[in-house]
Structure 1
Amino acid sequence: MMLRVLLLLALFPFFAVSAPLPLPDQGPALRIQGSNTIGAGLVPALVRGLMEQQGLQGVHSEPAESANEQRVIGTTREGKTVRVEVAAHGSSTGFAALKNHSADLAASSRPIKDSERLALAPLGDLKSPGAEHVIAIDGLAIILNPRNPLNSLNTEQLAQIFNGEISTWETLGGSGAAIHLYARDDQSGTYDTFKELVLNRRGKPLATSARRFESSEALSDAVSQDPQGIGFIGLPYVRQAKAVAIVDGDSQPMPALNSLIATEDYPLSRRLYFYLPPATRNPWAKALVDFAQSDQGQAIVAANGFVAQHVQAIGVAPRASMPEAYQAIARSAQRLTVNFRFEEGSASLDNKARQDVQRVVAYLESHDKLHKQVTLVGFGDAKNDPQRAALLSKLRAMAVRRELVKSGVVLRDIRGFGAQMPVAANTEDEGRIKNRRVEVWVY
């Protein structure tokens, strides 16, 4: 047994082997409700992984009585059945279930809304570090029929398409048939994300002609079979459809690549969450959150088609549009697949950034790069004062430096590039937040 523990710790440094979890006398060990994007496949897979880590046997999933609901079942060596219930009807249903005490853990494909946070205040602060947990990164893919010749669209066009202002493919340079719209239902976090990133930024509602789906798979399959169709979907559900590159503001066209989604540079990238109320006493809920954050859990994230939060080094080809000093960095270093971003006028790290600091340190330790092998590169948003953007870009890089230094990292350099190289439009808060970022480069 001790050998097995040591092997697990060597393989998965973020994975803490815990004592066996208590078993309920009756009813499910854990109840999870929320996002269909996460709940259809990823959540059950994570639960199975946790059950197997707990030594349960015959672990499997089976459908429940209602659509988009399932049970994950395992058996102890003594023959006791352990059951976890997963309902995947949309992110908002997860927060509603926390409020009425019909769930222990909420799965969400969008951040909690202020109204939901207020309504759930009796359970504790759902935005606190112990409550809000990013378990994966996803890209919202814009999908077309595979025979559609278009390869890229910008976010302004997307808003006009899904509002119905652009109604024919001929307007976009394609064939002249009418555009058919496919969208997730109102309970969906995927819909909330699309509405926030695309429609609301242009003050446009979704066209009433759009066909609505609770199931991600059903929506994707419908688009792939309709030569005139267009829809939006989580990255793992592209299936037989065609995903196009997205342009936002002055950014380059960005395909839905894992590397661009991992850094959240892709315009329609999003975080996927578990929300664990501080008042929750269910040990299975806390164990699943911890398991999802472990290397073993993140491997399950990747196996289910989402982007794991593993830190990797990737080469970036210098381009003429880059500042010369940035090109020099790109020619001699590799960029880590992580970004630190900041709120308006702030240099405080958010909940994901705190976790990412530890991931970056673990990467640097394992690759012997703790001493003068790292350069931090900060960026800001333009607004009306380029000098302010330049200053804040370097201050944010210094904020990341402070956290890395605590773990023994000695930096090689800190650079601030101000409002250069935007990855999103600077006209709205969402775009400006994406542009306020710190990149990590290793030599």
Structure 2
Amino acid sequence: MTLRVLFLLCCVFSLPVVATPLPVPDQGPALRIQGSNTIGAALSPALVKGLMEQQGLHGVHSEPGESANEQRVLGRTRQGQTIRVDIAAHGSSTGFSALKNATADLAASSRPIKDSELVDLEPLGDLKSPGAEQVIAIDGLAIILNPQNPLTTLNTEQLAQIFNGDISTWEAVGGVGGAIQVYARDDKSGTYDTFKELVLRLRGKPLVTSAKRFESSEQLSDAVSRDPQGIGFIGLPYVRQAKAVAIVDGDSHPMLALNSLIATEDYPLSRRLFFYLPPSNRNPWAKALVDFSQSSKGQSIVAANGFIAQQVQAMAVEPRDSMPEDYQAIVRDAQRLTVNFRFEEGSASLDNKARQDLQRVVAYLKAHDKLDKQVTLVGFGDAKNDPQRAALLSKLRAMAVRRELVKNGVVLRDIRGFGAQMPVAANTADEGRIKNRRVEVWVY
């Protein structure tokens, strides 16, 4: 890879954690979580176990539920009472349906809530509000091949054509092996929704009807690793024995699904994992799990389960000839933090993740004595007809982040705007333009 990442420093920022004992329900589960298989297969149970252990419960363990991809986590109080949390992992859309039907307290989703779901759940409150929409981890969709496949790079246009069936042989993309066999998650999967949004829908292409579909991430990955002609997409923790390839989107450089590139969401197929907590929900276990997930302990569990935690770290970046000279100067002298600030669609306001990341960044700067002129903000944007306007807008985005940091006692060293240079996504659709509108944080 052209980007050599060395993680040097780590600061764990602790958001509020459970301080008082949670109530024991008279009957039934203490908490019901439904939704994403990516989250529900391992991450949700691990977070629930962590919360139970923090609560002082004994004998914490999980058992299979009534159906496939369902489980319950159990623990005992000192008085011998059993606490149970039910987890069903049948796909992100099922989580929002369960909230509507009052059969879940939390929805786990590996994609943002859709506008139609937002309207449908309006009686429960605004699920896009900062308290309701909680980013608990970052994940990357890896494009996986059989380990013996010699290909190392594919672009998103090729992916769309392969998964649509327009490209049906490996030779058509410079490989060998004859016919391509496509593997995909099922229609209820947030992983599939994300792939459809990032790759297929943007190019108006449906999934090829011959694709082999899976509800289980593990089974899909293992099937691709056994098939010399196979290709599939999977959440980062489920690459297993398969081979991941580097991805190019538009004019971006090839990027592997590396932790550093996923943490900053530069990797073309990176995505956020969410808990959605309805404002109307009064279950204290639901709020406690959300808070625990954002705590240092919770984020450590995120990392232990193969996802990317939101703990702020500094990394050294290797200069590339394709970088602007002024940017290379920053790269040579400073280290980049593993966070990008992004904005709400069609707005100059920071999105919900950025609001959380502000506090994490401030905590990092305080812990490492970098509050006084040790930080440079670097803004980027999407292409405009006038390059000077693009440069100005990118600097204005950096200034929006500066205003928030100044409120927390940070004195900036410099603010730079590089316009539409160094895109990380194609500018041909709203999703790519939003991704390119970003602010990086560099520390000296």
Q: TM-score, normalised to structure 1's length?
A: 0.97
SS at 1:44's partner residue? helix
Equivalent position amino acid for 2:20 in 1: A
Q: Does 1:119 align with 2:116?
A: no
SS at 1:27's partner residue? coil
What does the per-residue CA deviation read over 1:94-128, in whole Å, with 9 as the maximum and x for residues that have no partner?
00000000000000000000000000000001001
How many Å separate the matches in 2 of 1:127 and 1:387? 34
**1:185-334 → structure 2 map (5 Å cutoff):** 185-334=186-335
How many Å separate the matches in 2 of 1:385 and 1:77? 67
Q: Which moved more, 1:384-393 or 1:247-256?
A: 384-393
Q: What does residue 153 of structure 1 align with? A: 154
Which structure's relative contact order is higher, taking Cα pairs within 8 Å and 6+ residues apart?
2
The structure-2 alpha-carbon separation of the partners of 1:11 and 1:413, relative to structure 1 and needing over 3 Å to count, comes to: closer
Tell me how far 1:78 sits from its aligned partner: 0.4
Equivalent position amino acid for 1:79 in 2: G
Q: What does residue 57 of structure 2 align with? A: 56
Equivalent position amino acid for 1:357 in 2: L
What does the per-residue CA deviation read over 1:81-100, in whole Å, with 9 as the maximum and x for residues that have no partner?
00000000000000000000
Which ranges in structure 1 are unaligned for 5 or more consecutive residues? 1-9
How many Å separate the matches in 1 of 2:92 and 2:423? 30
SS at 1:312's partner residue? strand
How many Å separate the matches in 2 of 1:355 and 1:349? 10
What does the per-residue CA deviation read over 1:60-85, in whole Å, with 9 as the maximum and x for residues that have no partner?
01101100000000000000000000
The structure-2 alpha-carbon separation of the partners of 1:122 and 1:32, relative to structure 1 and needing over 3 Å to count, comes to: same
Which ranges in structure 2 are unaligned for 5 or more consecutive residues? 1-10
Is the contact made by 2:17 and 2:288 (CA closer than 8 Å) also made in structure 1? no
Q: What does residue 106 of structure 1 align with? A: 107
Equivalent position amino acid for 2:101 in 1: N
Equivalent position amino acid for 1:374 in 2: V
The structure-2 alpha-carbon separation of the partners of 1:11 and 1:247, relative to structure 1 and needing over 3 Å to count, comes to: closer
How many residues of Structure 1 are paired with residues of Structure 2 in the alignment? 434
Q: Which moved more, 1:99-108 or 1:378-387?
A: 378-387
What does the per-residue CA deviation read over 1:406-435, in whole Å, with 9 as the maximum and x for residues that have no partner?
111110000000011111111111111111
Q: TM-score, normalised to structure 2's length?
A: 0.96
Is the contact made by 2:177 and 2:228 (CA closer than 8 Å) also made in structure 1? no
SS at 1:432's partner residue? helix
Q: Does 1:336 align with 2:370?
A: no
Is the contact made by 1:12 and 1:296 (CA closer than 8 Å) also made in structure 2? no
Tell me how far 1:385 sits from its aligned partner: 2.8
How many Å separate the matches in 1 of 2:172 and 2:178? 10
Q: What does residue 74 of structure 2 align with? A: 73
How many Å separate the matches in 1 of 2:436 and 2:73? 41
Q: Does 1:178 align with 2:179?
A: yes
Tell me how far 1:11 sits from its aligned partner: 7.9
**1:362-401 → structure 2 map (5 Å cutoff):** 362-401=363-402
Tell me how far 1:175 sits from its aligned partner: 1.3
Is the contact made by 1:44 and 1:72 (CA closer than 8 Å) also made in structure 2? yes
After superposing on structure 2, the runs of 4+ consecutive aligned residues of structure 1 that deviate more than 3 Å are 10-13
Q: Does 1:42 align with 2:55?
A: no
Q: What does residue 7 of structure 1 align with? A: none
The structure-2 alpha-carbon separation of the partners of 1:17 and 1:27, relative to structure 1 and needing over 3 Å to count, comes to: closer
SS at 1:158's partner residue? helix
How many Å separate the matches in 2 of 1:32 and 1:17? 19
* Identical-pair percentage: 84
Equivalent position amino acid for 2:291 in 1: D
Q: Does 1:431 align with 2:432?
A: yes
Is the contact made by 2:18 and 2:292 (CA closer than 8 Å) also made in structure 1? no
Tell me how far 1:176 sits from its aligned partner: 3.8
Tell me how far 1:383 sits from its aligned partner: 3.3
Tell me how far 1:345 sits from its aligned partner: 5.0
Is the contact made by 2:250 and 2:425 (CA closer than 8 Å) also made in structure 1? yes
How many Å separate the matches in 2 of 1:253 and 1:119? 39
SS at 2:24's partner residue? coil
Superposition RMSD in Å: 1.1
The structure-2 alpha-carbon separation of the partners of 1:11 and 1:419, relative to structure 1 and needing over 3 Å to count, comes to: closer
Tell me how far 1:391 sits from its aligned partner: 1.1
Is the contact made by 1:15 and 1:295 (CA closer than 8 Å) also made in structure 2? no
How many Å separate the matches in 2 of 1:61 and 1:284? 17
Q: Does 1:18 align with 2:19?
A: yes
Tell me how far 1:15 sits from its aligned partner: 4.5
What does the per-residue CA deviation read over 1:186-210, in whole Å, with 9 as the maximum and x for residues that have no partner?
0000000000000011100000000
Q: What does residue 168 of structure 1 align with? A: 169
Tell me how far 1:172 sits from its aligned partner: 1.2
What does the per-residue CA deviation read over 1:285-313, in whole Å, with 9 as the maximum and x for residues that have no partner?
00000000001000000000000001000
Tell me how far 1:396 sits from its aligned partner: 0.5
SS at 1:286's partner residue? helix
Tell me how far 1:386 sits from its aligned partner: 1.9
SS at 2:160's partner residue? helix
Tell me how far 1:368 sits from its aligned partner: 0.6
